[in-house]
Amino acid sequence: MYDIPPSMKSNNKWDPDASTVKPGNNPDSSTILIVEDEVDLRDMIRESLEQAGYRTLDAGCVADARRLLEQHQPDLVLLDWMLPDTTGISWLRQIRRNGRFKNLPVIMLTARGEVSDRVTGLDSGADDYLVKPFSLNELQARIRTRLRQQDAPSEETSVEIGGILLDSGTHRVTVETDEVDVGPTEFRLLRHFMDHPDRVYSRSQLLDSVWGQQVFIEERTVDVHIRRLRKALEPVGKAGLIQTVRGAGYRFSTRGR
Ligand code: CA
């Protein structure tokens, strides 16, 4: 049970209803995985996030969190430090070693406020850190900041997944020593996929992200460029990484269908 300090109760800091964040202001309905073993606190966070329009997943231990992460690929993780099976921090280190989740935003939640722990958390790959007790408004503000940064174009010029090296600096795609000949649109499409591996994108989402929202293009145009991208990747044996997800769209994945 989470022990809510009386001082917190008196000013309603923990009351999700006190949130000033209006529902539905997250048009993309990002999915947030809450990993917290204190049930009351977890429920409070979940309610508050759902009110703000997020989709939520919740876990009380690392084993459940790992399964949900693999199955649902959330956009952000709220991770408690002390969990019953493994510490959040050791799981975070595992996440960061895994290429697929290298850039997944993770905000640590912990009762430990000492400077050394804060440094350990950030060194282990946490993007941000909240010391309990925190206000739900503060939590939401931090989440918005992280998700915004995630949406911004990648700062890194090169990305390598599944043997494909894409370099935005030189505008080249290579597989080992073979250069892949891709057009500018296919290049941007591949970049988008490689920045978000394993995520399924509908045609309209790809149009928004790769072509830009202002442009009016028919959705089947996406299929044309997907086809070209696969054709370009075929000689190097990587066409299978651009996968069709029936009824949903496309994804880039190094795993089989
Ligand atoms: Ca805990």
CA-to-CA distance for 216 and 66, rounded, in angstroms? 40
Using pLDDT thresholds of 50, 70 and 90, give the confidence band for residue 114.
low
User: Do both 11 and 29 map to the same domain?
Assistant: yes
Separation of first and last alpha carbons in the chain: 42
Single residue among 151, 180, 200 that ends a domain in this structure: 151
CA-to-CA distance for 121 and 92, rounded, in angstroms? 9
In a domain, 192, yes or no: yes
Using pLDDT thresholds of 50, 70 and 90, give the confidence band for residue 156.
low
Using pLDDT thresholds of 50, 70 and 90, give the confidence band for residue 239.
very high
Whether the predicted pLDDT of 58 surpasses 80: yes
Q: How far is the CA of 72 from the centre of ligand 1 (A)?
A: 23
**Which pLDDT value is given to residue 139?**
95
Q: Which CATH number characterizes residue 72's domain?
A: 3.40.50.2300
Whether the predicted pLDDT of 124 surpasses 80: no
Q: How far is the CA of 48 from the centre of ligand 1 (A)?
A: 19
Using pLDDT thresholds of 50, 70 and 90, give the confidence band for residue 152.
low
| Residue 182, both tokens | 């891709």
CA-to-CA distance for 36 and 205, rounded, in angstroms? 32
Q: How far is the CA of 116 from the centre of ligand 1 (A)?
A: 18
In a domain, 257, yes or no: no
H-type alpha helices, 2-125: 6-10, 39-51, 62-72, 88-97, 115-123
Q: Give the domain extent around 19.
A: 6-151
User: Do both 138 and 177 map to the same domain?
Assistant: no
In our burial notation (b when 16+ CB lie closer than 10 A, e otherwise), range 27-64 reads eeebbbbbbbbbeebbebbbebbebbbbbbbbbbbbeb
User: Do both 56 and 181 map to the same domain?
Assistant: no
CA-to-CA distance for 76 and 146, rounded, in angstroms? 8
Domain count, the chain: 2
Single residue among 110, 131, 151 that ends a domain in this structure: 151
Q: How far is the CA of 38 from the centre of ligand 1 (A)?
A: 6
Q: How far is the CA of 2 from the centre of ligand 1 (A)?
A: 9
**Which pLDDT value is given to residue 255?**
85
Q: Which CATH number characterizes residue 178's domain?
A: 1.10.10.10
User: Do both 144 and 163 map to the same domain?
Assistant: no
Single residue among 123, 151, 179 that ends a domain in this structure: 151
Whether the predicted pLDDT of 192 surpasses 70: yes
Using pLDDT thresholds of 50, 70 and 90, give the confidence band for residue 116.
low
